[in-house]
Amino acid sequence: MTGLLAGGKILHEMTSWIWDLPAFNQVSHSFLAIDLSKFMEPDDFDSRMGEYTDSIKNSPKRDGISEIFLPGEIENRNYKNHMNNGLELPDDVAESLIELSGRIGIKIHWMQGGIR
């Protein structure tokens, strides 16, 4: 839908932003701001959103599934975990950052324990 609204590429027209880096892929973004107060009281919206998300989170789960995640929930947990515990970098990435920092004169302030 975003590609349609913003005039960008859609479906098969897009190239991979991962595997075809030199290509201009025309990824599109659309943003929409909604004034909730034009529809209902913000507190009522918050309450209804809580009911909505609780309903989804408490839905029956398939065998072997312990939790239903909402969009962005896994990423938010990972972010909090990495902010508290650091992010383990592959050796080649850490070495590349060290080399780059030396070239441009920036000191890297590694988390406690150094490179992980």
Show the domain range for 4. 1-32
- The mean pLDDT of the chain is 87
Got the DSSP string for 86-116?
A: --PPPHHHHHHHHHHHHHHT----PPTTS--
Residue 113: pLDDT band with limits 50, 70, 90: low
Residue 10 maps to a domain:
yes
The one-letter code for the residue type at 5 is: L
Task: Look at the block and give the residue holding tokens 């650091």.
Answer: 86
Residue 63 maps to a domain:
no
Q: pLDDT tens for residues 32-69?
A: 899 999 999 999 999 999 999 999 999 999 999 999 99
Residue 41 maps to a domain:
no
Sign for the CA dihedral angle at 54, 58, 62, 64 comes to positive
Please give the tally of structural domains in the chain.
Answer: 1
Residue 14 maps to a domain:
yes
What is the pLDDT averaged over residues 61-81?
A: 96
Residue 65 maps to a domain:
no
Considering only 54-63, 69-78, 89-98, which range has the smallest mean pLDDT?
89-98
